[in-house]
Amino acid sequence: MSKPDDFTEETWPRLREAMETGGPTSVAELIAGFEDAKQRRQLAFFAHRAFSGRDWRGKTLDALAEVTRLGMDEMLAQASSAESEDDRVRFIDLANVMSYNLSADLADCWPGDEIPRTREHFEQGLASAERCLEWRRELGKGPGPFSMAWWAKGIHELSLGRADDALASFEESQRHAVEGAEAEGQATTIDANGHWSVLLAEGYVALAAARQGAEGADARLDRCLEAIGAAIQAQPDEAGNLGFCRDQLEVVRGQA
């Protein structure tokens, strides 16, 4: 019997053909044709990751968003008919993860990503982030997942020109990032010792404040970026994460 990864990889050519010839609905119909509920979950989750990260003919964010929403519908349908509470929670959590990932896909902040975004994409991303936050409250998630979800909300509010809302969301993201770092015994200072999540959150708070025109916000962002640069040298094991944080902050700063 194929392992889950083997199974999804073996099915990828059929999923891609369905998308290229019939669009997201055809992908959902292909997945629905599998009688085994576990296989449908595997394929729905895999489909988002594959269509997000791989090349396929006619690739668009709109098609990615639709196929992801259809996959989430599969997860929620299985949750509603789950035989145990543990299964119900697990299936909702899969939809929660997909909702966050879709919101991140639609965000306009990724280094090297030149796919054009529209206002509708940001509105869809915001809705996905808000849905994700609702599920994380229902599921009782910890500070790390909440920091990520508040960031997702804030980045789309920023792209929509809602700097006040974005600042509030990024401050919530920062609060949860600090809480999570403290729980793990990590430094929460904005310097070479700071945890990457705290430094990233500080950068986004400064970005939103700068969009508001707040005095000193640009200097605050400069200090944050300097701290990230120092942290890259001081924390070699986290250099990759820290460098990615710095690069996305630079991308968003360049959009102002």
pLDDT score of 4 more than 70 = no
% of the chain at pLDDT higher than 90: 96
Alpha carbon distance 8, 43 (integer Å): 6
pLDDT score of 94 more than 70 = yes
Residue 113 neighbours by CB under 8 Å, 6+ apart: none
- State the residue for tokens 């909440």: 146
Closest residue by Cα to residue 241 from 208, 207, 200: 200
| Span 10-15, average pLDDT | 97
Alpha carbon distance 89, 75 (integer Å): 10
> Band of the pLDDT at 114, cuts 50, 70, 90?
confident
| Span 180-196, average pLDDT | 97
Cβ neighbours, 10 Å, residue 187: 16
